[in-house]
Amino acid sequence: MTWLLEKINGGLVRVFLILVGLFWLVPTIGLLASSLRSPEDMSASGWWKVFTKPSQLTFDSYRKLLENGDITHSLWNTVLITVPATVLVVVIGSLAGYAFAWMEFPGRDWWFLGVVSLLVVPVQVALIPIAELFGRIGLFGSTLGVILFHTGFGLPFAVFLLRNFFAEIPRELLEAARLDGAGELRLFARVVMPLGGPAIASLGIFQFLWVWNDMLVALVFTKSGTQPITVALQTQVRQFGNNIDVLAPGAFISMVIPLAVFFAFQRQFVSGVMAGAVK
């Protein structure tokens, strides 16, 4: 009897999880299907009709989108913002993380606590002050300004994560390198950075996704020539319904890179998420 009950229970669990899984997939499938239909078909019927009429499938929306200079330019802007903002956070965060983990200076622990306390500061707090600051020093609207902003707000997490990871490096390794005559920079570049690989990977992926997916910061600090894909698409949302042939493929293209990163580096992403549960 219990055996039978367990069997039924197991079956129910499976059915439930399959339903939930479908429920989670359907919205994304809807976007993909919508992006592969013509605007005429979209205004006539729901995207699910594409499954009964596969002849509706068309790449026209994508072709038109990639011929649209504004969109391709904004995609390029996203890259121009994301890559430097990620590299800067990794490099600057590593330097500071290493100093906090292995160097002696007065008030070290207090400085570190100060950095950690900045983990939860909402970006919104900085929008108005930094907009005003950038306006004064001529960074408003520039790519560099957005990069700096993302770097600043990525640093608390970077320092927190890397300092904790670097602190676990065995002391003997560092001492041995020092005895071999390695200077501080050499030690950092040849020993600490390679050993910190896993944490640096987590951080890099996290920061990359955060910056790539950001809309708010770019909405405030970019202007028409420097705006990334999220802002370019956002301006289209106001006429939602008439331009689904831009929005659906545009949103999907903007998702491709994050999804590829996500699937390629799941493990690092997950450990980054866990370390960053406080952010």
The footprint of other proteins on residues 176-235 (CB under 8 A) is 178, 184, 187-188, 198-199, 202, 209, 212-216, 219-220, 230, 233-234
Tell me: does residue 242 bind other proteins (CB under 8 A). Answer: no
Touching other proteins, residues 102-141 (CB under 8 A): 102-106, 108-109, 111-113, 115-133
The C-alpha atoms of residue 24 and residue 75 are separated, in whole angstroms, by 27
N-term to C-term CA, the chain: 49
For residues 146 and 227, the answer to whether their CB atoms sit within 8 Å is no
Structure-block tokens of residue 206: 């996290």
For residues 39 and 244, the answer to whether their CB atoms sit within 8 Å is yes
Contacts with other proteins by CB under 8 A: the residue count is: 117
Question: Cβ closer to other proteins: 67 or 104?
Answer: 104
Structure-block tokens of residue 154: 């990525």
Minimum distance of other proteins from residue 7's CB (angstroms): 12
Minimum distance of other proteins from residue 70's CB (angstroms): 16
Tell me: does residue 62 bind other proteins (CB under 8 A). Answer: no
Q: In whole angstroms, how far apart are CA 46 and each of 63, 99, 229?
A: 22, 57, 26
Minimum distance of other proteins from residue 179's CB (angstroms): 10
Question: Cβ closer to other proteins: 58 or 213?
Answer: 213
Q: In whole angstroms, how far apart are CA 272 and each of 115, 154, 161, 202?
A: 18, 13, 9, 5
The C-alpha atoms of residue 130 and residue 63 are separated, in whole angstroms, by 38
The C-alpha atoms of residue 14 and residue 160 are separated, in whole angstroms, by 40
Structure-block tokens of residue 76: 């390029």
Among positions 71, 85, 96, 146, the unique one binding other proteins when judged by CB under 8 A: 96
The C-alpha atoms of residue 239 and residue 156 are separated, in whole angstroms, by 38
Binding segment for other proteins (CB under 8 A), chosen from 50-58, 60-68, 69-77, 168-176, is: 168-176
Touching other proteins, residues 247-276 (CB under 8 A): 247-248, 251-252, 254-255, 258-259, 261-263, 266, 269-271, 273-275
Binding segment for other proteins (CB under 8 A), chosen from 53-61, 65-73, 79-87, 152-160, is: 152-160
Q: In 3D, which of 92, 119, 127 has the Cα closest to residue 218?
A: 127
Touching other proteins, residues 14-53 (CB under 8 A): 14, 16-17, 20-21, 24-28, 30-31, 34, 42, 45-48
Among positions 59, 168, 197, 225, the unique one binding other proteins when judged by CB under 8 A: 168
Among positions 61, 75, 98, 157, the unique one binding other proteins when judged by CB under 8 A: 98
Minimum distance of other proteins from residue 279's CB (angstroms): 8
Question: Cβ closer to other proteins: 62 or 102?
Answer: 102
Which helix (H) or strand (E) covers residue 179, if one does? helix 171-179
Ramachandran quadrant class, 141 (left: phi over 0; alpha: psi -120 to 50; beta: rest): left
